[in-house]
Amino acid sequence: MAVVRLERVFLEYPVYHGSSRSLKKALLAASTQGNLARDALDRVNVRALNNIDLELRNGDRLALIGPNGAGKTTLLKVLAGIYEPTQGCVVTSGRVSALLDAQVGLNPDATGRENIILRGMYMDIHPREMVKHADEVAAFTELGQYLDMPVRTYSAGMMIRLAFAISTCVPPEILLMDEWLAAGDAHFLAKAHRRMEAFVQASNILVLASHSIPLVQEWCNRAIFLQQGYVAASGDINEVIAAYRRTLQMGASAA
């Protein structure tokens, strides 16, 4: 049985360097939002996630909603094991597939065909299993002769085709998704949507970060509304969306 559990998860990262203008802008924005903290070494840290508790089991379809900078992608990366929390505990049980970044797990100097195996290994799938899916992945991408060329020669759209096809060739138990598919062309997006519907249905647990309310209403039954790294609301998808919309309306009225 697939399980995802977070207990009192905090994530902070230090602000090391940057141009004086961009650093000042980042610090001012974070201080306005109350996301600044100092660690034992007196370094300035940005608190990206603040005291997150979460438990997901088979059949849960969770949407992460909120404004830019709320912590949605950061939370996905914690669930994927890309970020380690500063405090707290993260437990996942089941095969995880993370569709977060088109370039993660791809070697730019390897060909598209070689990357089918390489990204599969990044997803903890044995090369022998990926070989079985290579022809199907190649057909779905419609990249033709480009599959035998280095990935560094690909456009952003071509890279997304390859990464998406590889990531969705083996159904996961736990599926983590961000909105990076938006860069695809209309023909590919239609194919991807049909493929993703089947992929979502085959997964035990889905966590989807999106600004598209119709999309999360279609695919999710639960939601978390994140705001400045905090959970502002959690529960039934429609109730949380209503809370999010009320916050947006209050912000618009204040402006």
pLDDT digits (tens, 9 = 90+) for 183-216: 556 777 788 888 888 888 888 999 999 998 998 9
Give dist(CA 130, CA 114) in Å, integer: 11
Same domain, 174 and 216: no
> Is the model's pLDDT at 14 over the cut of 70?
yes
Give dist(CA 138, CA 63) in Å, integer: 31
Same domain, 145 and 70: no
Residue that is last in its domain, among 203, 225, 244: 203
Q: What domain count does the chain have?
A: 2
Same domain, 127 and 217: no
Same domain, 161 and 220: no
Partnered with residue 37 across adjacent β-strands are 45
pLDDT at 32: 45
Give dist(CA 224, CA 241) in Å, integer: 9
**What is the β-pairing status of strands 44-57 and 3-14?**
antiparallel
Please give the share of the chain, as a percent, with pLDDT higher than 70: 84
Same domain, 73 and 127: no
Same domain, 108 and 134: yes
CATH number at residue 38: 3.40.50.300
Same domain, 137 and 154: yes
Same domain, 117 and 152: yes
Q: What's the mean pLDDT when you consider all of the chain? A: 84
Domain hosting 89: range is 3-94+212-254
pLDDT digits (tens, 9 = 90+) for 17-35: 544 445 445 545 554 445 6
Same domain, 107 and 79: no
Same domain, 161 and 229: no
Same domain, 103 and 199: yes
What is the band of 181 on the pLDDT scale with cuts at 50, 70, 90?
Answer: low
DSSP E strands in the chain: the ranges are 3-14, 36-38, 44-57, 61-65, 87-93, 96-99, 174-177, 205-209, 222-227, 230-236
* Higher pLDDT pick, 16 / 126: 126
Same domain, 104 and 89: no
